Amino acid sequence: MRRPESTRAAAARWAIATPSPHDRLPGVDMAGFRDLSTDLVDLRVVPYPAVTVVVDFGDGVLVDDADGRQRRGSVVLGLAPGGVRVSGRDIECLQVRLSPPVARAVLGDFPGPGSAALPLEDLWGRDAVRLRERLRDAASWDDRFAIARAALAPGRGAGPGVDPEVGHVWRRMVDSRGRLRVEPLATEVGWSRKRLWSRFGAQIGLTPKRAAQLVRFDHAAHLLAAGHSASLVAVESGYADQSHLHRDVMAFAGVTPTAVAAAPWLAVDDVAWAAPEHPARR
């Protein structure tokens, strides 16, 4: 299936660096981006089932969140960051995607859906400033990836982590692409539905139902970006019908499935985030 011409053109403007698969941490994906064009970047962020850290090496990235706040520098995007736009020129940055369980362990109180964009300094203080300086001054992308891996290593211990039961439910959601119901998942971990709802929401930042919907939306969005029809995507992703798909896409992305299919934000995903088991989602 051929991608739309506009999507392929959007991908061509970026030079993308990725770490070796052997150097990846569980639950962490990284990619480096350098804009090859002199044109203004102005795009809507399509929600993704991970917490994203963006470290800008200049003043090229401007993030506008749903509340009208503007951020530069090192920014953390929470789950389902509706209404976020990224703009700038001559952008060079590192993006890190953290699965929600890893994000809680590494970032502590990482932003949930109510905090679409948050400066990393608000979570890490001076450590965030020093990290950005080291990453900016590194001699190569491999050096940058190594520095980031050290900063994000599990032993850093900035946060309390998640309950094993919550981590298990998250992994099951990802493995099923959001198609499992909450009640059987609660039974699997020996919890009541009410307890799972409470603990999962407090530790992941979304209710179990909303998290499953986000995972399912992500799968559907990538099928749309790959050029598949909305009717086929609805069937393949487990939606009741095409109208159901349309409602979910509008709820998460704020645009129609047709617009998601041509979203520049998704144009680079098969290069920047290609991995056998999508480790950032686990």
Question: Using one digit for the tens of pLDDT, what is the confidence trace for 35-79?
Answer: 888 888 888 888 889 999 999 887 777 887 766 777 777 888 888
List, as one string, the DSSP characters of 115-170.
Answer: -SEEETHHHHTHHHHHHHHHHHH-SSHHHHHHHHHHHH-GGG--S----HHHHHHH
pLDDT averaged over every residue in the chain: 85
Residue 200 has pLDDT above 70, yes or no: yes
- List the domains of the chain with CATH numbers: 5-160 (2.60.120.10), 164-261 (1.10.10.60)
Question: Measured between alpha carbons, how far is 221 from 214 in angstroms, rounded to an integer?
Answer: 10
Residue 1 has pLDDT above 80, yes or no: no
Residue 80 has pLDDT above 90, yes or no: no
The predicted structure's pLDDT at residue 142: 95
Half-sphere exposure of 3 (CA within 13 A, CB side): 23
Residue 280 has pLDDT above 50, yes or no: no
Residue 16 in 3-state DSSP? strand
Order across the sheet with 28-35: list the strands: 14-17, 28-35, 92-98, 51-56, 74-77, 117-119
The rounded Cα 140 to chain-centroid distance in angstroms is 24
The predicted structure's pLDDT at residue 279: 41
- Could you give the percent of the chain with pLDDT greater than 90? 48
- Which of 78, 79, 61 has its CA nearest to residue 70? 61
**How confident is the model over 223-245, as a mean pLDDT?**
94
What are the tens digits of pLDDT across the range 168-184? 999 999 999 999 999 99
